[in-house]
């Protein structure tokens, strides 16, 4: 400020202006006599200040409060070789092995190395299913990092319910997820306390977390949301209520479909609904949706059936699942009926019906292509590991050639998340090797390469020595398959060494 005042006076002239009082005071502090001629003051001040500017300036005092360092670790670190394996995984070489690495690390009670914590915490933001696991393996350094970065506070450190109203959005989501996991009623009470103050986006995100340990205790809260102003909230509330078998919404839906499905002369008779009243629309029936081929009325019936728990159909028809599926199969509306039973079985996670559907599907698929109207994808996470392996082995063992890409067993092997039993892996590899040894059309079988990659991460790595044998490495076809087969074996070798090292 002093320098600017002096420059300004020099430009306009001492006869047309004068120094400000504050400037004179500053100059006197610097030892310049301000009682002399103005021109002399300007010359002396300019000489002094120019030298001072060259010499430097007084730095601003740093008042930043430095956070204390992370406390000492109390949890054992995985060994150096395991750290090398993890760095390879994070580098992309074996990225699909990360879940197995983290799960094994959590099981043996060790922690991640400090240098990978930022990468793992950043990746974990989009994987809520791993949040509880990550909290166990990040150690005190990881917790310290989480406290510094708002983007990582999905790993909730302070789980006190009293923090609900003052926490950030990320913290509230993590807090709600925590309490739904350990004490669902407490989480519900937290939501009820602030619900009328929440905006619609927050409401939708909070409602999605209610899927965790959803029960009849949540019904009253969700019923209120069926009357909400926003369609998104009403729709999500209806979807959640449809997952509660004992809910009044389910009972109301059953009362609507009961008179529409009857058995006459051992045949299923179906009557399509006429009008959909406001109460049915409140329960989630969309009168405009073309749910499936067959028209709007068929779509409405399909929407109703899709939320009815399969066990209620057993009571309604007085028949076991297999008999009901046979009734559906013979009906002119079998596409509608099968899609609805697939939806409801997935919604209610009914293991008994899941196994029954897959068994029925496997039997029929031997004679008819079902891919056009039976989409089993929603049930893939529900199918038992035992049945998955059983169907896989049955489908692969009874053929001397490669199955078509549209074959249901191929779709099951490509999409199911289950681990492969050793026998299934052997049957698959032996069949592929046999085909390669006798094949004349080298360009066929490309869909098996995707399954080979799946098998690499889902098979028991202890089998790698056996699976390395009997490949037709000296035949012409090997050039078309060498890369994929060697990658398959490399992944198995890596996983075997990774798991053995983690246990040391």
Q: What is the pLDDT of residues 151-204, one digit of tens each?
A: 888 887 778 888 898 888 888 988 999 899 899 999 999 999 999 999 999 999
Higher pLDDT residue, 307 or 33?
307
* Distances from the Cα of 479 to the Cα of 334, 470, 486, 487, angstroms: 46, 16, 11, 14
Q: Which string of DSSP letters, residue by residue, matches 307-355?
A: TS-HHHHHHHHT--HHHHHHHHHHSTTHHHHHHHHHHHHHHTT-HHHHH
- Whether the CB-CB separation of 255 and 280 falls below 8 Å is answered with no
φ and ψ at 77, to 5 degrees?
-90, 145
pLDDT tens-place string over residues 54-86 = 776 677 788 877 778 888 999 999 999 999 999
Q: E-assigned strands of 41-187?
A: none
* pLDDT of 56: 67
pLDDT for residue 57: 66
Tokens of 350: 């009914």
Percent of the chain clearing pLDDT 70 (strictly above): 95
Q: CB within 8 A of 171, min separation 6: which ones?
A: 153, 156, 163
What's the rounded mean pLDDT across residues 348-352?
A: 89
* Contact present, 359 and 327 (Cβ < 8 Å): no
Residue of 439, 440, 437, 413 whose CA lies nearest to 424: 413
What is the pLDDT confidence band of residue 370, given thresholds at 50, 70 and 90? low
Question: Bigger pLDDT: 275 or 454?
Answer: 454
CA distance 379 to 366: 20
Give the model's pLDDT for residue 4.
78
Q: Report residue 294's pLDDT band, with 50, 70 and 90 as the boundaries.
A: low
Mean pLDDT of the chain: 88
Q: What is the model's pLDDT at position 199? A: 94
What confidence score (pLDDT) does residue 374 get?
67
Q: What's the pLDDT score for residue 265? A: 85
What's the pLDDT tens digit per position in 14-61? 667 777 888 778 777 777 777 877 777 778 778 777 777 777 667 778
Q: What's the average model confidence in pLDDT over 443-471?
A: 93
Using alpha carbons only, give the angle 279, 243, 345 rounded to the nearest 5 degrees. Answer: 115
Tell me the per-residue pLDDT of 211-232, one tens digit each, with 9 for 90 and over.
Answer: 999 999 999 999 999 999 999 9
Residue 5 has pLDDT above 80, yes or no: no
**Are residues 428 and 403 in contact, defined by beta-carbon separation less than 8 angstroms?**
no
Average pLDDT over every residue of 480-496: 96
Task: Look at residue 70 in the predicted model and tell me its pLDDT.
Answer: 86
Asked whether the predicted pLDDT for residue 237 surpasses 80, the reply is: yes
Residue 474's pLDDT is what? 92
Mean pLDDT of 473-480: 91
pLDDT score at 203: 95
Q: What is the pLDDT of residue 371?
A: 61
Token pair of 188 as six digits: 């519900």
Alpha-carbon dihedral sign for residues 7, 12, 13, 14: negative
DSSP H or E segment with residue 241: helix 231-241
Mean pLDDT of 414-426: 93
Greater pLDDT, 316 or 371? 316
Identify the DSSP state of 211: T
Q: Picking from 128-132, 186-190, 269-273, 488-492, which range would have the lowest pLDDT averaged per residue? A: 128-132
What was the pLDDT predicted at 366? 66
**Ranges 45-49, 131-135, 422-426, most confident:** 422-426
pLDDT for 491 beyond 80: yes
What does R_g of the chain's alpha carbons equal in angstroms? 35
Cα–Cα distance for residue pair 57/55, rounded to 1 Å: 7
Q: Give me the pLDDT at residue 160, please.
A: 87
Total-model pTM: 0.73
Alpha helices in 348-446, H assignment, sequence order: 351-365, 385-397, 408-415, 422-438
How much is the pLDDT for 201? 95
Instruction: Please measure the distance between the N-terminal and C-terminal CA atoms of the chain and give it in whole angstroms.
Output: 69
pLDDT of residue 275: 80
Q: How much is the average pLDDT of 230-250?
A: 95
Calculate mean pLDDT across residues 107-135.
90
User: CB of 142 within 8 A of CB of 102?
Assistant: no
Q: How many CB atoms lie within 10 A of CB 328?
A: 19
Contact residues for 402 (Cβ-Cβ < 8 A; gap 6+): 431, 432, 435, 444, 445, 448
Task: Answer whether 77's CB lies under 8 Å from 110's CB.
Answer: yes
pLDDT of residue 65: 78
Residues pairing with 264 in the sheet: 267
> CA 61 to CA 396: how far, in whole Å?
75
Residue 292: pLDDT band with limits 50, 70, 90? low
What's the mean pLDDT in 386-413? 83
């Amino acid at each position: 400020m002093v320098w600017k005042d002096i420059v300004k006076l020099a430009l306009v002239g001492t006869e047309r202006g004068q120094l400000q009082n504050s400037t004179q005071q500053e100059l006197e502090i610097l030892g310049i006599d301000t009682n002399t001629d103005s021109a002399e003051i300007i010359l002396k001040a300019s000489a002094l200040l120019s030298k001072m500017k060259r010499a430097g300036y007084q730095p601003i005092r740093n008042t930043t409060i430095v956070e204390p360092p992370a406390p000492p670790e109390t949890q054992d670190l995985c060994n150096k070789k395991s750290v090398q394996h993890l760095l390879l995984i994070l580098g992309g070489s074996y990225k699909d092995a990360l879940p197995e690495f983290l799960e094994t690390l959590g099981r043996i009670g060790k922690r991640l190395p400090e240098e990978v914590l930022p990468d793992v915490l950043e990746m974990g933001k989009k994987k809520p299913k791993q949040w509880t696991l990550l909290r166990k393996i990040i150690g005190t350094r990881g917790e310290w990092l989480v406290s510094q970065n708002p983007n990582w506070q999905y790993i909730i450190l302070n789980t006190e319910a009293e923090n609900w109203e003052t926490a950030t959005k990320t913290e509230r989501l993590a807090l709600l997820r925590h309490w739904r996991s350990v004490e669902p009623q407490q989480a519900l009470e937290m939501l009820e306390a602030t619900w009328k103050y929440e905006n619609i986006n927050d409401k939708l995100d909070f409602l999605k977390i209610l899927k965790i340990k959803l029960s009849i205790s949540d019904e009253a809260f969700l019923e209120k949301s069926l009357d909400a102003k926003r369609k998104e909230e009403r729709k999500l509330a209806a979807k959640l209520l449809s997952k509660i078998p004992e809910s009044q919404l389910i009972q109301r839906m059953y009362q609507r479909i009961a008179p529409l499905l009857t058995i006459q002369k051992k045949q299923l008779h179906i009557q399509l609904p006429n009008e959909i009243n406001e109460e049915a629309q409140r329960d989630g029936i969309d009168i405009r949706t073309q749910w499936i081929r067959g028209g709007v009325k068929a779509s409405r019936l399909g929407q109703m059936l899709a939320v009815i728990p399969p066990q209620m159909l057993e009571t309604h028809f007085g028949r076991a699942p297999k008999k009901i599926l046979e009734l559906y199969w013979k009906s002119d509306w079998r596409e509608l009926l099968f899609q609805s039973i697939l939806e409801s079985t997935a919604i209610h996670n009914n293991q008994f019906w899941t196994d029954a559907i897959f068994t029925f599907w496997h039997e029929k698929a031997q004679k008819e292509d079902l891919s056009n109207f039976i989409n089993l994808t929603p049930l893939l996470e529900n199918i038992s590991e035992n049945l998955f392996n059983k169907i896989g082995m049955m489908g692969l063992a009874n053929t001397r050639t490669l199955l078509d890409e549209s074959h249901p067993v191929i779709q099951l092997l490509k999409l199911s998340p289950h681990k492969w039993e050793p026998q299934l892996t052997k049957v698959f590899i032996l069949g592929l090797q046999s085909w390669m040894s006798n094949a004349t059309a080298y360009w066929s079988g490309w869909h098996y390469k995707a399954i080979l990659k799946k098998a690499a991460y889902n098979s028991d790595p202890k089998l790698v020595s056996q699976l390395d044998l009997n490949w037709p490495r000296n035949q012409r076809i090997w050039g078309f398959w060498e890369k994929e087969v060697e990658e398959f074996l490399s992944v198995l070798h890596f996983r075997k060494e990774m798991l053995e090292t983690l246990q040391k």
